[in-house]
């Protein structure tokens, strides 16, 4: 999605989210604040071979940030093109822009960080929402 697409998407619309971990589906009316994907078109391994590490053409995730009337919606979608694996989708709702930052923060091997894809969605959202902007500036990671 380009910046122009986001500018065009600035008006409120209905979004449907189905969380694969809970089975719960919900529809919200809101404005797209930011979206980013780690998807790549080219594999980093030979055809028919298993990736050594991460291949963003085989597995990728997308982050979507929505500003609804009373809260923020953070949508994570994990995609896969590997046979036998399934698509995953988790949805978080919060009234706090600081919780949005916390939801997007990960820890691995004792290190706390926000993945690049999430940072891209957050930076777009910060340009459109003063609450997200403040939380992004004040973040601890």
Q: What are 55-112's pLDDT values in tens digits? A: 667 778 899 999 998 999 999 998 887 778 888 999 999 999 999 999 999 999 999 9
On whether the CB atoms of residues 41 and 56 are closer than 8 A, the answer is: no
Q: What is the pLDDT of residue 79?
A: 80
Cβ atoms of 29 and 69 closer than 8 Å? yes
Q: Is 18 helix (H, G, I), strand (E, B) or coil?
A: strand
Question: pLDDT per residue over 25-60, tens digit each?
Answer: 989 999 999 999 987 667 666 666 665 667 667 778
Report how far residue 55's alpha carbon sits from residue 43's, in angstroms, rounded to the nearest whole number.
6
pTM assigned to the model: 0.81
């Amino acid at each position: 999605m380009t910046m122009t697409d986001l500018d065009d998407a600035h008006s409120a619309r209905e979004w449907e989210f189905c969380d694969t971990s809970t089975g719960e589906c919900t529809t919200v009316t809101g404005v797209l604040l930011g979206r980013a994907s780690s998807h790549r078109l080219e594999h980093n391994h030979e055809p028919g071979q298993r990736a050594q590490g991460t291949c963003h053409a085989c597995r990728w995730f997308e982050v979507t940030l929505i500003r609804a009337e009373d809260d923020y919606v953070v949508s994570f979608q994990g995609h896969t093109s590997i046979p036998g694996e399934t698509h995953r989708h988790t949805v978080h709702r919060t009234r706090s822009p600081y919780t949005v930052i916390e939801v997007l923060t990960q820890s691995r091997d004792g290190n706390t960080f926000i993945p690049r894809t999430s940072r891209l969605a957050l930076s777009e959202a910060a340009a459109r929402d003063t609450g997200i902007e403040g939380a992004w500036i004040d973040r601890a990671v």
